[in-house]
Each structure stands twice: as structure tokens, then as C-alpha cells.
Amino acid sequence: MKAKTPLQQEIIGLSRQLCRLTEAQKRYAFEHCFEHLAHRNAKNVLTCLECGHSWKGGNGLADTLLGVTCPQCGMKLEIAVGRKRIHKDIEYFSIITTCNQYQVIRFFRAACTLKVGLPASYTIFEVAQRWISPDGTSTTVARNRAYSSIYYDLWLSQSKMEIRPNQEHHVYDICPACTYPKQRFIKELKRNGFEGNYHGMRPYDLFMAILGNSRHETLLKAGQISMLRYTLHSPKRLDNYWDSVKICLRNDYAIVDASMWCDYIDMLRQEHKDIRNAHYVCPANLKEAHDKLVEKRNKENLQKKVMDAKSHDEEYRKKKGKFFGLVFTDGTIKIRVLESVVEFMEEGSELHHCVYANKYYEKDNSLIFSATIEGIRMETIEVSLSKMQIVQCRGKHNGISHYHDQILQLMKDNICKISARMSA
Ligand SMILES: [Zn+2]
């Protein structure tokens, strides 16, 4: 993409003036981006894959666990496991610096090839830069990339560093293995609360957040890191909770677990509690307060379901009341008519079938029985009132129990008692 706006033209110009990597920076990248290996052969001869030097190994187990130091180049090495004689790796290295008024993050692709008996070979070249303005907008300068769904690192090293769309995923997804420790920051970052600690967030994300969103800036300054991290990519979400966050800030209340706290605030809201009241918003024990609300809501939900079920009771009693009290037993199994809609609910939830969900209590032509042994529900039976036949008889998850045949027999033996009530 050609630089079009004056801003883009300025940045492309400045980009060309940025320093090349120094030897010290390259050395740092190669040393810290990659694992450094020693190869061990069957005769316990170790070969440094950095400089190619070989020497006789000591205690095999100790070397494997603790690593070794090459007597020639002084590199700390891990013992390579397996027989592989060539090791290749690609990582990203980043430099955080400033240029004029801009905060700049530079990304370099580093590659290493280690071969037994040869000195290590390293390459590194710059692939992308983020230019962040003090107002929290950014411009991306990057090389072109070969498009492949499998390889994410196919940067075309000969392509130009040009202005690219900010949202390009291959730039956004770069996750450097290491960052050069000497870093420079624009004064606006320091002014907005940044003191050099990224708190596990990506520098680009954190910088953009605290420069572009005053609420994120406030969170960082107040040390509300969990909340900052939780809302870093969705400032809209932060707006939802801001009234309550302000109460926390005023009361010096640390939100330690932002996702749980937001969940808790949501429940307070649904309970019509005052989410600007420190008594609710700043619980001494968040987990306890959160779990208590969850339990209360579960109970209320259940109560609501029971109330709903009860509202159908009168209708059900009108239709099937004349069968109430029907109970048959053979000594082991007890079969009885369900006498309330709450019983349908309990039957359905215990046996995990749809007798309640599909409103069998509303069906005119069917009568529902529950078969139990010592009070434990075994199967549910539907009898057709027009045909005086068993329509279905089902246990847990619509399967059958050990007592299925016995239940069917007991039901068949007593079906005449239903007919007797029909005509009553
Ligand atoms: Zn060496």
C-alpha cells in the first residue's frame, strides 16, 4: 500500500531512518529467542551445536537434567533428546523504542539452524513495525507475506517495508519470544500510568488501551490490573460496569478476579440491587458473595418452575382427578397415578425424560403413572384412556430398568381398575 495521508508519508520517512539492528541486539536475540543444544552420541561425546566443539561428557543423567556449558564458547546448553542431527527454529524478536513523537514497536523474524559438527547459523530481518501516536491511534509498516494457511511466518524478505492495514492478522498475531531489555517510551505513556510493567499484556495492546481510552488509563493508574486485562479488547464491556468500578476506586477496593466480579455485578443488577452502593459492589469475600447469589438465583428459578407447574394443577385435577388414589402393588413394585403437575416435573427431572417438558399433563386421552421401588422412581407409564392400553413405559433417559417386564405385567393386571374409574 502506498503512503497516502501526510501521517503515513511522515511515518514511512521516519521508518527508513530507524537504526539497523546493532551486533549487541542481534546477539541478544539469538541467545534469548532460542534453545541452545548439545548433541550426545552413543559414546557420550558431546558436540556443541553453537560452535561445533566436541568433548567427552560427564555424568549422563546430571548433564541431561542440569545442562552443560561448552568449554570452548561458554554457551549454556541443553542436551538434545532423540537422534535428530539438524534442528531448525523460527521465533520473533522485538524492540520497543521511540521516534519523534511516536512509540514504536519493531518486530524481527529470527531463524536458527543447528547441525551437528557445524557452527550454528542464524538469520534475522525486520518484518513489521507498529507506530503508535500519542492519541492512541496506530499505523502499521510491514513487509509482504506469502499467503499460506499452514505457515504463518512466510515473510518475503525482499519485499518493501510499506504501510499495511492495521488489522492484518499476521502482524497482529506476532508473539515475540523475547524483547530487547533496553526500551524507550514516549512521555505520554509514562503520564498515563505506564511504569515499565506490562503485567502479562502485549505491549501494543496495553499502549493502545492507555493512550486511547481514559478509563483504561484510570484502571492502570489505580492498579486495577485484572479489570484492565479483562476489558482490554472490549472497552464497551468496561462501559457496562464503569459506575460500579468508580465505587471500587473510591473505596480502594481491589478487583482481584474481574470476570467473577463482573458476573457478580450482573447478578446484582438482575436482583435490582444498587450497583453504586459499596456494600454490594465491594464484597470482602467476592467468591462467597458471588456463590451466595448464584445459589439464591438457582433457588428462585426452581421456585418459579414450581409456581409455573402449580398454575396448571387445577386444570389437571379437573381432567384426571377421578383417577387420583389409584395404586397397585405386587409387593416389590408400586405403581400410582401422578396427582399433581409438580409430580410431573419431579418425574421428568429425576428420570431425565420429557414427561413434564412435553406437557403430558395436558393430554386428554392419556393417564400417567409412576412405578417406584422403595420410593425410588424406576419407570413412567402412559396409558391410553380411549384404548385402555399401555402406550409407553420408560425409565431413565428413556431407557428401561431391570424391572421393566415386571412393571408392564403389574400394569396390565390392573388396567381394568382404570376402566372402573372411567365409568364412575
Ligand atoms: Zn560451543
Q: What is the pLDDT of residue 149?
A: 58
**Local structure of 410: helix, strand or coil:** helix
Sign of the alpha-carbon dihedral angle for 237, 242, 248, 254 = positive
How many whole angstroms from 75 Cα to the centroid of ligand 1?
6
Q: Who's near 1: CB < 8 A, 6+ residues apart?
A: 162, 163, 164, 165
**Local structure of 142: helix, strand or coil:** strand
251 lies in the same domain as 389: no
Task: Answer yes or no: is 202 within a domain.
Answer: no
Q: CB–CB of 75/158 below 8 Å?
A: no
How many whole angstroms from 49 Cα to the centroid of ligand 1?
7
Task: Answer yes or no: is 208 within a domain.
Answer: no
Mean pLDDT on 17-37:
95
Task: Answer yes or no: is 40 within a domain.
Answer: yes
Structurally, the chain folds into a number of domains equal to: 3
Inform me whether the pLDDT recorded for 225 exceeds 80: yes
Per residue in 293-340, pLDDT (tens digit) is 999 988 988 999 999 999 999 999 999 999 999 999 999 999 999 999
Per residue in 182-219, pLDDT (tens digit) is 999 999 999 999 999 999 999 999 999 999 999 999 99
Q: What is the distance of C-alpha 67 from the center of its chain?
A: 35
Task: Answer yes or no: is 215 within a domain.
Answer: no
Q: To 5 degrees, how large is the angle CA 143–CA 146–CA 149?
A: 125
Given 270, 300, 330, the domain boundary residue is 300
Closest CA to 73 of 90, 96, 48, 95: 48
CATH number of the domain bearing residue 369: 3.40.630.30
Q: What is the pLDDT of residue 423?
A: 73
Tell me the residues surrounding ligand 1 (ion) with CB < 5 Å. Answer: 48, 50-51, 53, 70, 72-73
Per residue in 124-138, pLDDT (tens digit) is 999 999 999 999 999
Inform me whether the pLDDT recorded for 416 exceeds 60: yes
Q: Provide the residue type at 115 as one letter.
A: K
How many whole angstroms from 116 Cα to the centroid of ligand 1?
11
Task: Answer yes or no: is 306 within a domain.
Answer: no
Given 300, 330, 358, the domain boundary residue is 300
Q: What is the pLDDT of residue 343?
A: 95
158 lies in the same domain as 237: no
280 lies in the same domain as 369: no
H helices of 58-177, in order, are 60-66, 169-172
Task: Answer yes or no: is 102 within a domain.
Answer: yes
18 lies in the same domain as 164: yes
**Domain boundaries, position 226:** 220-300
How many whole angstroms from 119 Cα to the centroid of ligand 1?
8
**Local structure of 119: helix, strand or coil:** coil
Strands 86-99 vs 178-179: parallel, antiparallel or unpaired: parallel
| Overall pTM > 0.85 | no
Q: What is the pLDDT of residue 61?
A: 83
Alpha-carbon separation of residue 259 from 166, 241, 287 (angstroms): 28, 11, 11
Q: Which residue has the cell 517495508?
A: 161
49 lies in the same domain as 92: yes
54 lies in the same domain as 174: yes
Q: To 5 degrees, how large is the angle CA 192–CA 258–CA 132?
A: 30
How many whole angstroms from 183 Cα to the centroid of ligand 1?
30
243 lies in the same domain as 118: no
Q: What is the pLDDT of residue 85?
A: 85
How many whole angstroms from 70 Cα to the centroid of ligand 1?
5
Task: Answer yes or no: is 206 within a domain.
Answer: no
Q: Which three cell numbers stand for residue 126?
A: 525486520
Per residue in 54-106, pLDDT (tens digit) is 999 888 788 888 899 999 999 999 998 777 889 999 999 999 999 999 999 99
401 lies in the same domain as 374: yes
Confidence of residue 152 (pLDDT cuts 50, 70, 90): low
Q: What is the pLDDT of residue 323?
A: 95
Q: What is the average pLDDT value for the chain, to the nearest integer?
A: 92
145 lies in the same domain as 225: no
- CA-based end-to-end distance of the chain: 89
Query: Which range has the worst mean pLDDT, 44-48, 249-253, 404-408?
Result: 44-48
Beta strands in 16-65 (DSSP E): 37-40, 45-48, 54-56
Q: CB–CB of 180/124 below 8 Å?
A: no
Confidence of residue 148 (pLDDT cuts 50, 70, 90): low
How many whole angstroms from 51 Cα to the centroid of ligand 1?
4
Q: Which three cell numbers stand for residue 337?
A: 397415578
How many whole angstroms from 77 Cα to the centroid of ligand 1?
9
The packing angle between helices 235-250 and 214-221, to 10°, is 40
**Local structure of 130: helix, strand or coil:** strand
135 lies in the same domain as 275: no
Task: Answer yes or no: is 81 within a domain.
Answer: yes
| Long-range CB contacts for residues 3-8, cutoff 8 Å, separation at least 24 | 3/162, 3/163, 4/163, 7/133, 7/139, 8/139, 8/163
Rounded Cα–Cα distance for residues 83 and 168 (Å): 39
Max CA-CA distance within the chain? 106
33 lies in the same domain as 145: yes
How many whole angstroms from 55 Cα to the centroid of ligand 1?
10
Rounded Cα–Cα distance for residues 21 and 380 (Å): 77
Q: What is the pLDDT of residue 150?
A: 60
Given 122, 155, 179, the domain boundary residue is 179
How many whole angstroms from 21 Cα to the centroid of ligand 1?
24
Rounded Cα–Cα distance for residues 46 and 38 (Å): 6
260 lies in the same domain as 376: no
The radius of gyration computed from the CA coordinates of the chain, to the nearest angstrom, equals: 36
